[in-house]
Amino acid sequence: MSYYQHQSGCAHNPHLSFQQFHYPVDPVTHLTNKRGFFDHTAKELHRSRITNKPLSILLLEIDFFDQLEETRSPTDTKHLLQQASHIIRNNSNNADLPAYLQQGQFGVVMPNTNKDAATWVGKHICQDAKRQSHLPSFTISGGVASTHECACSDPAVLYDYADKRLFIAKSTGANHISTDELVMMH
């Protein structure tokens, strides 16, 4: 059993699908779209406050996506997005909701998952993306945020925490997951 399965108490079941949540699906990646991501995050934030269980979100982005999109054919870009979504889905738990957000950016809503477990999953996604051999190689970076570090009731606030950490990850180089805080220098 993996660290993530141990932490969350659930193993991946290939017979269950994230589509059980009934949110709109992106036609290319076949993952929930951005609206579904935020709707589900709001529901899980409410549940997290009631149960006092952690909720984490993992934001992931294909490194240098804009450059890859410019230099590859539309078909190759579509296959790249599909491969990334496949990797993310395969590393997600049955209770998680992976989503395609925009321009090479993905999100995973992770109920009952603390920051350490979400980081572990993110690192495995990065490793799997780098190892895949179906396309020319690509890497993924990400940022993690958890309710146990910010007492927020708004999905946008949790998203902003993860987005800032994604920015840090991308600033420190490709193929990295960040849980670091931004430090303001004077």
Instruction: Return d(Cα 179, Cα 144) in angstroms, integer.
Output: 5
Q: Which residue range(s) make up the domain with 132? A: 24-178
Examine residue 9 and state whether it is found in any structural domain, yes or no.
no
Examine residue 5 and state whether it is found in any structural domain, yes or no.
no
Q: What is the pLDDT of residues 69-89, one digit of tens each?
A: 899 899 999 999 999 999 999
**C-alpha dihedral, 169 to 173 to 177 to 183, nearest 10°:** -30
Other CB atoms within 10 Å distance of the CB of residue 18: 23
pTM (predicted TM-score): 0.85
Examine residue 186 and state whether it is found in any structural domain, yes or no.
no
**C-alpha dihedral, 78 to 140 to 125 to 82, nearest 10°:** 0
> Which residue type sits at 80?
L
CB 18 within 8 A of CB 97: yes
CATH code: domain of residue 152: 3.30.70.270
Examine residue 15 and state whether it is found in any structural domain, yes or no.
no
Q: What is the pLDDT of residues 78-121, one digit of tens each?
A: 999 999 999 999 999 999 999 999 999 999 999 999 999 999 99
| Domain count for the chain | 1
Give mean pLDDT, residues 137-152.
88
Examine residue 2 and state whether it is found in any structural domain, yes or no.
no
> Which residue type sits at 26?
D
Examine residue 43 and state whether it is found in any structural domain, yes or no.
yes
